[in-house]
Amino acid sequence: MHSMQKAVVNRNGLLFFCAVLHIFSYRFSENLYQYDMIVITGGAGFIGSAMLWMLNMLGRDDIIIVDTLGLAARGKWKNLSGLRFADFIPRDQFLPLLESKKISGITDLIHMGAISATTETDADLLIERNFAFSKRIATCCMQQNIRLIYASSAATYGNGASGYTDDEKTIDTLRPLNMYGYSKQLFDRWALRNGVLEKATGLKFFNVYGPNEYHKGDMSSVIFKAFRQITEKGCVNLFKSHRPDYRDGEQLRDFVHVRDCTAIIAWLIENPAATGLFNVGSGTARSFNDLVNAVFTALDKEPAITYIPMPEHLQGGYQYHTCADMAKLQQAGYRNAMTSLEAGVRDYVRNYLASPEPYYDLYRHTTNSGNS
Active site residue 180: yes
Q: Give me the percent of the chain exceeding a pLDDT of 70.
A: 88
- CB–CB of 317/243 below 8 Å? no
Q: How confident is the model at residue 303 (pLDDT cuts 50, 70, 90)?
A: very high
Q: Rounded to an integer, what distance in angstroms lies between the CA atom of residue 262 and that of residue 53?
A: 9
For 306, phi and psi rounded to 5 degrees?
Answer: -115, 130
Task: Report DSSP state, residue 5.
Answer: H
Beta pairing, strands 207-209 & 255-257: parallel
What is residue 1's predicted lDDT score, i.e. its pLDDT? 44
SS3 state of residue 87:
strand
**Which among 115, 11, 38, 49 is positioned nearest to 269, based on CA atoms?**
38
Residue 46 pLDDT more than 70? yes
What is residue 33's predicted lDDT score, i.e. its pLDDT? 59
344-369 pLDDT, tens digit per residue, is 999 999 999 999 999 999 987 554 44
H/E stretch holding 110: strand 106-111
CB atoms closer than 10 angstroms to residue 318: 17
Q: Rounded to an integer, what distance in angstroms lies between the CA atom of residue 5 and that of residue 15?
A: 15
Average the pLDDT over each of 30-44, 81-95, 131-145, 202-216 and give the range with the smallest value. 30-44
Q: How confident is the model at residue 32 (pLDDT cuts 50, 70, 90)?
A: low
Can you say whether the dihedral through the CA atoms of 313, 238, 203, 85 is positive or negative?
positive
What is residue 364's predicted lDDT score, i.e. its pLDDT? 79
Please state the rounded mean pLDDT for residues 25-37.
57
Q: Give me the percent of the chain exceeding a pLDDT of 90.
A: 82
Active site residue 216: yes
Catalytic choice (180, 182, 352, 360)? 180
Q: Rounded to an integer, what distance in angstroms lies between the CA atom of residue 253 and that of residue 284?
A: 8
Residue 12 pLDDT more than 80? no
What is residue 104's predicted lDDT score, i.e. its pLDDT? 84
For domain 12-353, the CATH superfamily is NAD(P)-binding Rossmann-like Domain (3.40.50.720)
Average pLDDT, the chain: 90
Average the pLDDT over each of 126-130, 158-162, 212-216, 336-340 and give the range with the smallest value. 158-162
Kindly list the distances between the CA atom of residue 225 and the CA atoms of 33, 127, 198, 238, 295, in Å, as whole numbers in the listed order: 41, 29, 39, 10, 10
Beta pairing, strands 236-239 & 305-308: parallel
Look at phi and psi of residue 335 and say left if phi exceeds 0, alpha if psi is from -120 to 50, else beta: alpha
Higher pLDDT, 286 or 104: 286
Residue 24 pLDDT more than 70? no
Higher pLDDT, 18 or 116: 116
135-171 pLDDT, tens digit per residue, is 999 999 999 999 999 999 999 999 999 999 999 999 9
Q: Rounded to an integer, what distance in angstroms lies between the CA atom of residue 258 and that of residue 285?
A: 16
Distance from the Cα of residue 18 to its chain's centroid: 26
Residue 28 pLDDT more than 90? no
- Contact partners, residue 132, CB within 8 Å, separation at least 6: none
Catalytic choice (135, 216, 225, 240)? 216
What is residue 314's predicted lDDT score, i.e. its pLDDT? 78
Residue 30 pLDDT more than 80? no
pTM flag (> 0.85): yes
Distance from the Cα of residue 91 to its chain's centroid: 17
What is the spatial order of strands in the sheet that 63-67 belongs to?
A: 87-90, 63-67, 37-41, 106-111, 147-153, 201-205, 276-280
What is residue 34's predicted lDDT score, i.e. its pLDDT? 53
Residue 2 pLDDT more than 50? no
Please state the rounded mean pLDDT for residues 70-93.
96
Residue 335 pLDDT more than 50? yes
For the chain, how are helix, strand and coil distributed in percent, rounded to 5?
45, 15, 40
Higher pLDDT, 13 or 85: 85
